[in-house]
Amino acid sequence: MKPHKNTRLILQYIAFFILFILSAMASNGVIRPFGIGLFVGLVYCRKNIWLLAPMLLAAALIGEFSWQSILLAGTAIAIITVAYYVHYLLKKRMQAWHLLIYSFISQLPVLFIYGLSPERLVSGAVCLVLGTTYALASCVVCHMVLVKGIRYRATAKEELSVGMLIAALTMGLMRLLVWDVRFGYLALGFGYLLAPRMLGEKGVFAVVSSGLGAWAATGDLAFLALAAVWGIAAYTLRLKHPIFALLVLVSTDLACGLALHLYDNYFYVNTLLFALGGLALALVPPKVRHTWEKCLEADNDLGVRYLVNRNRLDLYTKLNGVSSVLTDMRLVLEGGIASLPPLANNKNKLAKELSRTLCVECENRPHCERVLSASTAVAMYDLISRGIELGRLNQLEMPAFFDDNCPYARRVVERCAALLDDYVARKEVCDRVDDNKRIMCEQLSGLGGLMTDLATEVKQVVSYDTTTEKRIIEDLSNHNVIAKECIVYRDKGLATAIVVVRAADVDKPDLDITLAKHLGKMVLKSVTNHTAGWVSRCYVTAPPLGLAAGQAASTKKGSEHTGDTFSVLPLSTDKTLLAVCDGMGSGIEASGGANAAMALVESFYTAGIDDESILGLINKLLVVRNEDCFQALDMCVVDLRHKYADFIKLGAPESVIRRADRIEVVEGGALPLGILENVTPKVSRVPLVAGDMIVMCSDGISETIGVDGVVRMTEQNPTTNPKTLARLVLEDALFVSEDDDKTVLCARIFDNV
């Protein structure tokens, strides 16, 4: 162990010993109920019992040097040590309730060791109850400080337990009395200024708890009333310099003691000690005070959450701006699409161009124009028409005008053929450029729509449910699941919860059970690992329906590569994409086309682009990729929250839905992808209920047993396992033929509540 760790450990146990002494001294002169509780709490947090035992015994003797103190401390040490060793041998973790039982048993001697008179029995019973309660509070506080960490939000139980410890320790401090001088005033002056500054409103509660302990120790009710006044004053002035706040507190104490005579036994030296304690805090360097405040700073969640909403509004503005930019870019690109007309529609322009290049300087042009009674472009028009009609051009196929009047007929034929070939080549290049521009326009349109949807979503102000957050943290703490933070907000009736827990607690079922208790059934949306062993888990309200999928597939007999591919892709917690893509034919080319189409489908849907843009983009990309490779695409987007499915079919066969009382067929339709430049899919929306079974298949199934065969197999096999049903349908089709790739994809809809 490194030296600095040794020093830290030694200082830690010195602090434990001081706290033992203060707990042992916490008394009103009749009963001492707090001596054992802190020992129980430290044992619960796995501190070294062999070091704590002698410290407890010494502290008990300092608090009250008597055989009764030795008996009480010794009994507690003996019982808890034996119980600790038994738990160790049995390898059974010692829970807090175990220690409370052992603590209660160990304190039973207090009922009779001070006498058996009625008064002593009553005081002993009070001591027993307070001692057990203090042991419970010590377990909670020690766990919060030594295990959970003091920087994280405390639960209501932890706050009450801290208040009890503060009251007990203050009671011990105020018993440090020499000639009417209470040395506890030093600590009070320091703590009364520090607590509200570091803890905010909770610091006032700490000060009042301290006043309660002072009242219990002295019997002077003025301590409790003044503690409340001092706490509120310190909280109000916490942003001022500590000296200013100290002057207010000391002035109040002097006025109550000297002028109003509220104290039973006022002594000005105590006020001086109070001032010295506050002055000690004022003299602490600001840098050190700032470090302390960061360790125990007041809850600033409201500021952080306001910042989140502020950032969402800023993001909304930026996303809207990006959407506008994408729209403008699309309009510019669309304006630049000026396709060359087909060759047959541009004969006039070509004729004029040919006439200009060949006839302008020709000495025979006047003669030709007299014969034609028009420009030579008229003759060129007939020549170009002949070339387009025949698909080729030579001198023998020229119009008769050129044989009779043009001395350069051969050159005219060559130039005309070259002009036609050049135009065809230019049009092909121009069409490809325009296709690329159209693809970019559709991409920009889809991205613009996505940005607009995102902007609309983030514009909504997030309303946090702080009451539920606090309850969740408290319940998790009760199950030993330490939550550093919990954020709950609701939108459109749906709850979202983000919980930051220790990595060791991530897999505990109590986490999901607690969230379900307060928010209803939730599903995990995302997980983020942080440094220092913390994990963020984001949950959303579970949709009312769930989906389970299964598939079965086979390859064409004699082929190594299948032209079918399928996908089951969760798009969100609400939506799932089911897709079957059938590349026309079989083998490596069909497989490559099907995989490319499916990869595009998955990528675009994952990005959140709308259906219409997705299908248009995929079709154009596949046309550009390979004009002779077509894909039949069968998609089903299942919305589990709104209970419907959108079937989107391009050259795909029918799908089948098995209901509780009937079989429903979803019609196929439309041409496959990659045939025409523009496609219009067949889209059908059908409602869903729990118990429905969706069956989708490729052409290899439908062309073998037909939709009637799929209906028959689905109706005759009432299995609820989608993989089993897919296998049965496939086996039925394979029994008939193995001459094509075959794929069956099934999905069962079930109740998720």
DSSP string, 151-212: TSPPPHHHHHHHHHHHHHHHHHHTT-EETTEETHHHHHHHHHHHHHHHHTHHHHHHHHHHHH
Summarize pLDDT for 312-356 with one digit per residue, the tens.
666 667 666 666 766 766 676 666 666 677 777 777 887 888 788
Answer whether 719's CB lies under 8 Å from 693's CB.
no
Summarize pLDDT for 665-690 with one digit per residue, the tens.
988 765 554 444 555 667 788 999 99
What gap in Å lies between CA 596 and CA 742, rounded to an integer? 18
* pLDDT reported for residue 307: 47
Q: What is the dihedral of CA 477, 479, 485, 487, to 10 degrees?
A: -120
- Please give the share of the chain, as a percent, with pLDDT higher than 90: 7
Collapsing DSSP to helix, strand or coil, 54 comes out as: helix
Q: How far apart, in Å, do the first and last CA atoms of the chain sit?
A: 53
pTM: 0.53
Summarize pLDDT for 121-165 with one digit per residue, the tens.
777 777 778 878 888 888 888 877 777 666 556 677 777 888 788
Least confident of 181-185, 406-410, 722-726: 181-185
Q: How many residues does the chain have?
A: 753
DSSP H or E stretch at residue 525: strand 522-529
Burial profile 647-668: b = 16 or more Cβ within 10 angstroms, e = fewer: bbbbbbbbbbbbeeeeeeebeb
The neighbouring-strand residues paired with 582 are 564, 632
Band of residue 306 on the pLDDT scale cut at 50, 70, 90: very low
Summarize pLDDT for 196-241 with one digit per residue, the tens.
766 666 777 777 777 777 777 777 776 676 677 666 666 676 656 6
* pLDDT reported for residue 658: 93
